[in-house]
């Protein structure tokens, strides 16, 4: 099993989940276009899917992503405030 090195937390499409008791993330990429083609979605490890830790793009733990996400876009880092 080859897990991803993509850090979704550093992606412009990543959002915190509003689900109660969830530390997972939500991908805000426009995935509706890809609903017909599920093979375009990043895959999660089988263990994570069975355990409920991978419900991409709605509620998932990025550590279980297999391979890299083709839609990953790094967030721009703003300079630290000196106030």
pLDDT digits 0-9 by tens, 12-64: 888 887 666 677 888 888 666 666 676 778 889 999 999 988 888 888 888 89
Domain boundaries, the chain: 8-66
pLDDT for position 39? 74
pLDDT at residue 50 in the model:
94
> Across residues 55-82, what is the average pLDDT?
83
Handedness of CA 8, 11, 28, 30 (dihedral sign): negative
pLDDT for res 29: 81
* Phi, psi for 33 (deg, rounded to 5): -60, -30
Res 47: pLDDT: 94
Find the mean pLDDT for residues 61-83. 81
In this structure, what are the phi and psi dihedrals at residue 31, rounded to the nearest 5 degrees? -85, -5
């Amino acid at each position: 099993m080859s897990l991803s090195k993509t850090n979704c937390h550093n992606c412009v499409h990543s959002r915190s989940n509003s689900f109660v008791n969830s530390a997972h993330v939500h991908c805000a990429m426009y995935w509706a276009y890809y609903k017909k083609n599920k093979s375009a979605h990043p895959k999660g490890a089988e263990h994570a899917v069975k355990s409920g830790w991978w419900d991409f793009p709605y509620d998932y733990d990025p550590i279980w992503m297999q391979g890299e996400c083709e839609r990953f876009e790094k967030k721009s880092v703003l300079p630290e405030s000196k106030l």
